[in-house]
Structure 1
Amino acid sequence: MKMTIKEIAKLAGVSQATVSKIINNYDDVGQKTKERVLAIMDEYGYRPSYAAQSLVKKVTKVVGVIYAGHINANFNHPFFVEVVDMFKKTLGGEGYDLLFFSNEKFHKADENYLQRCQHYNVDGCIIIGGEQVEPSIYELDQSTIPCIGVDIELTGPHSGYIMTDNIQVSSMAVEHFYLTGRREVAFIGGEKESFVSRQREAGFRERIKAYGLQAPEEWFVYGDFFEESGYACMKELLRSERTPQAIFAISDLMAFGAMKAIKDQGLDIHDFAIIGCDDITAAKHVEPPLTTIKQDKQKIGRMAAFILKDLITGHIEQTSLKVDPELVVRESCGSKKPGVMR
């Protein structure tokens, strides 16, 4: 027999509003009452529907925006700027407003995303994945508040996530190196703890092994997705006993930094093959224009908006989606004619 919130409340001897508060993790319910209600829900296998969760949650048409971790806190990475802009335009067309949450104090114990989302009564959240993600992000993910993640895996009961297929990203880069005759390749990654960086490194290692390419461990260097770190990483590679023929940087900004480091050392940039990732607008304007793995920022932003709306309205409960990348060939990898390989 499928239980209802009314029947759970009757068995527990409390009001339906109290049960709904417990379902939505409100903190103004006594611990003994909470334990009694949860025990009954567990005994009868009760799983709250979206309608039940909404009894005490007034629809506000407001969605929270959270940049998880410290690396994205400045909102200034071109990839995420475009994703969030499309997300905003798409949800705005559906009548939603956005509320940006600060994470400047996330190291302090009193910072809690779930409580703040409850305080502002948001209908749902988009979470942009960064480095060193705060534990409270995963508390929010596991709550009844619908969440959509971009570049972060969410597994909560009302969560979903969307990202580019990061294994395929690196596979495309290595395959292009192989097909253009480069056999000694290096990898410039983000922080080692980064989910995206780990995935792209795994794809890179898998593919260089398949093609028998040379990539000693000293040619694996790590930055933070931004230009300055790409510059430092490339200088480290240039200090190696021998230098690689080709470099895959997992962001366009780090690729820009790597190119600048080569030029500042007085070396010919055309002696190296460089591939970045993202295909931000500036990639086609650097010298030489950057070969890169394009992430479909417009599609990611639009899909994130529609998935979150469906999570909010209860049309879906959990979902995940990986978007195919594209290789955009320009002069930084020795191409005479730009093109796209799908």
Structure 2
Amino acid sequence: MKLTIKDIAKMAGVSPGTVSKVMNNTGSIGKKTKDKVMDVIEETGYKPSFSAKSLATKKSNLIGLIYAGEVNVEFNHPFFNEVINAFKNAVGQLGYDILIFSNKNFNNNKEDYLARCKHFQLDGCLIIAGEHIEDAINTLDQSDIPCVGVDIELKGANSSYVTTDNSKISSKVVEYLYLNSIKEVAFIGGQSDSIISNIRKESFIHYMNLFGMSVRPHWLKYGNYFEDSGYALMQEILEKPPYPQVVFAVSDMMALGALKAIKEAGLKVPDDIKLIGCDDIEACRYSDPPLATVKQDKDKIGKLAAYMLHDLINGKTESSSVLVDPELVIRDSCLIDNNVTINKRG
């Protein structure tokens, strides 16, 4: 016969709630009582079922993973893939499993994310930002379900978010170029209505103007964060000389696409045009030449998201936001003679 938490409680002479607290190491349980419960568990080989544990603790130990937006990211997106891996490892150590929202019939039947969270009795949600965020995300954000967003600003009383300091991404690039006497810079961004891309664009323009570096409107381009758009937009930039000294793309994938277009035009990187991306994905180290980039600390972002969500679920913190500092990493695609002190990596 399969034992239940009530059976264990009866054998130990305690309440089911006490057994639950002992198993989850919560509450103030005396050593004598704790040892008695643990002895019964060990002697019987009891392993709580998912439903029993959920009923006893009022927690499912399940986290929902939502890729938000009408235009959302995919599992193979190199930046978010690394963030999710770090998050997965951290929440796993904290005792959670992850449920990925993939059933589109919920949306088709007008059932939103909040309904799905309640259906599966989720303890909280991690929300990964896409573009054109649907209203259902705002409803979830304003609910009592603890949520943490990555690259999306959440404002609910039970929500927090973590993102790279996107303004600093552009400021580090422009400052580095200015200190090395480079003033002709093109910008390849994400969608024209992308919140993250526009923060980087506005910062780029601000610091270009601050340092007296001319911003040419025909060198401000908008893509979709992926290689094909970087390739096409670089071709547009190369249609008419003079060419920029440097091209700054707000994702490494677009920068790699731009690299391909530059090579096909018979030009050399960095001799003719220098190139800087953003994210520091693994491919940067193996491109030819290796791609300079602005590193987003993906491991730190994922771990922070995990611990912040855990604290929200357990009522240990209030709604907050964390901005993670980026790091400029110069590789061969943007090497400059007699340059200032920088962080150069392989």
Q: TM-score, normalised by structure 1?
A: 0.80
For residues 257-300 of structure 1, give each alpha carbon's deviation from its aligned partner in whole angstroms, at most 9, with x where no partner exists.
00001111122222111111111111111011111000111110
Residues matched between the structures, number: 288
Pair 1:287-2:288 in alignment? yes
Larger-Rg structure: 2
Q: 1:87-166, aligned counterparts within 5 Å? A: 87-102=87-102, 104=104, 108=108, 110-166=110-166
- 1:138 and 1:103 map into 2 onto residues whose CA distance is 19
Equivalent pair of 1:151/1:161 in contact (CA under 8 Å): yes
Looking at structure 2, the residues matched to 300 and 85 of structure 1 have their Cα atoms a distance apart, in angstroms, of 11
For residue 123 of structure 1, report the CA deviation from its aligned partner: 0.3
Q: Residues 91-130 of structure 1: CA distance to partner in whole angstroms, max 9, x if unpaired?
A: 1001100000127568746141111111111000000111
Superposed displacement of residue 203, structure 1: 0.9
Q: Matched residues in 2 for 1:320 and 1:106: separation?
A: 30
2:105, 2:212 → 1: CA distance?
47
- Percent sequence identity over matched residues? 50
> SS of the counterpart of 1:287?
coil
Letter in 2 for 1:286: S
Secondary structure in 2 aligned to 1:82?
helix
Which region of structure 1 is more displaced relative to structure 2, 174-183 or 185-194?
174-183
Instruction: Pick closer, same or farther for the CA change 1:176–1:91 going to 2, 3 Å.
Output: same
Supply the distance in 2 between the matched residues of 1:335 and 1:107 (Cα, whole angstroms): 51
- Name the structure 2 match of 1:340: 343
Q: Give a deviation string over 1:201-255, Cα, whole Å, max 9, x none.
A: 1110110000111221111101111111110111111123532111110011110
The 3 A distance-change label for structure 1 pair 303 and 274 is same
CA distance in 2: counterparts of 1:210 and 1:66, whole angstroms: 39
- 1:305 aligns with 306
Match of 1:76 in 2: 76
Preserved contact between residue 106 and residue 134 of structure 1 (Cα < 8 Å): no
Letter in 1 for 2:85: D
Cα pair 1:146 1:159 within 8 Å, conserved = yes
The residue type paired with residue 291 of structure 1 is A
Preserved CA contact (<8 Å) 1:114 1:139: yes
Amino acid at match of 2:310: K
- Distance verdict in 2 for CA 1:111–1:56, change over 3 Å: farther
Q: Give yes or no for contact 2:269–2:275 (8 Å, CA) kept in 1.
A: no
SS of residue matched to 1:242:
coil
Q: 1:231 and 2:223 equivalent?
A: no
Contact 2:66 2:127 in 1 (8 A): yes
Q: Tell me the SS of whatever aligns to 2:242.
A: coil
Separation in 1 of the partners of 2:197 and 2:312? 28
Computed over aligned residues only, the root mean square deviation of the Cα atoms, in angstroms, reads: 2.2
> Mean alpha-carbon deviation: is it higher for 61-70 or for 237-246?
237-246
| Alpha-carbon distance change, 133 to 176 in structure 1, aligned in 2, over 3 angstroms | same
Q: C-alpha offsets along residues 160-198 of structure 1, whole Å, 9 cap, x if unaligned?
A: 000000000000111122122211111100011211101
Instruction: Give the letter aligned to residue 254 of structure 1.
Output: M
Q: Do 1:310 and 1:316's aligned partners in 2 also have CA atoms closer than 8 Å?
A: yes
Q: Deviations over 1:64-114 (max 9, x none)?
A: 000112444422111111111010100100110000012756874614111
Q: Give me the whole-angstrom Cα distance separating, in 1, the residues matched to 2:312 and 2:259.
A: 43
263-272 or 154-163: bigger deviation: 263-272
- Residues 299/332 of structure 1: CA separation in 2 closer, same or farther (3 Å cut): same
Distance 1:195 1:152 in 2: 9
List runs of 5+ in structure 2 lacking aligned partners: 1-53
Aligned to 1:201: 201
